[in-house]
Amino acid sequence: MKKQDPRIQRTRQKIIKGFMELIKHKEFSDITIADITQQAEINRSTFYYHFLDKYDLIDAIQSEVLTREFFAEVALQEVVNEQTIRLSLEAIRRSRTDLARHCQRAYEEFKPKMDHEVKLRLTETLHTLLDKERGVKEEHLTLATFWSWGIYGVAMAYLEGEETLQSSVQRLTKVILS
């Protein structure tokens, strides 16, 4: 993979940081490219060099920044086990709380996309772990997808207070590792 120029990375981070600051105070629908460029202290053409529009920016934030950060610890695991399941549940919890904290005013608007990104990232991570643990097999993608959606569903019950973290981990461990 080609390494990206540090200046490009810094500019991209300035844009993301500027947007994240704006979303704390304004509705997403009210934020303009001019607002973002002013907050990030860049010009309009620089914004468009990095992103198509503000929707592309929010997609990048959700897929590149938030979900990758949340599932980094899960991806470091060697096998799918109780620890992997616990880390996955905690990553889902963090994704929800972080989204709510950073995007309070647009939480409901961003939640469906973030939920999709979380499931996608968890599926990719579990797929990689399965291949690492059991050798590359075609059926691992199906199994990883099934597990990720199951983990996500149990995580929602945990987040809504219907289950504790420990009971969620135990229930999922019993199903996944049997």
Q: Where are the domains of the chain?
A: 6-51, 59-176
- Position of tokens 């001019």? 34
pLDDT of residue 59: 80
Task: For the beta carbon of residue 176, count every other beta carbon within 10 angstroms.
Answer: 18
List the helix and strand counts (H, then E) for the chain. Answer: 10, 0
pLDDT of residue 65: 64
pTM of the model: 0.74
Tokens of 114: 């973030």
Confirm if 13 and 22 have CB atoms less than 8 A apart.
no
Q: Which fold has domain 6-51?
A: Arc Repressor Mutant, subunit A (1.10.10)
Tokens of 165: 């973290």
Separation in Å, CA 111 to CA 27, 100, 119, 146:
14, 9, 12, 21
Please name the amino acid found at residue 131. D
Q: Distance (Å, rounded) from C-alpha 75 to C-alpha 69?
A: 10
Tokens of 169: 């981990």
pLDDT by 10-residue block (mean), the chain, 178 residues = 73 91 85 95 94 88 70 87 93 81 70 84 93 94 95 93 93 91
Say which DSSP state 15 is in: H
Give per-residue burial for 27-65: e unless 16+ CB within 10 Å, then b.
ebeebeeebbbebbebeeebbeebbeebeebbebbbbee
Q: Distance (Å, rounded) from C-alpha 47 to C-alpha 36?
A: 8
pLDDT of residue 105: 65
pLDDT of residue 110: 75
Task: For the beta carbon of residue 66, count every other beta carbon within 10 angstroms.
Answer: 22
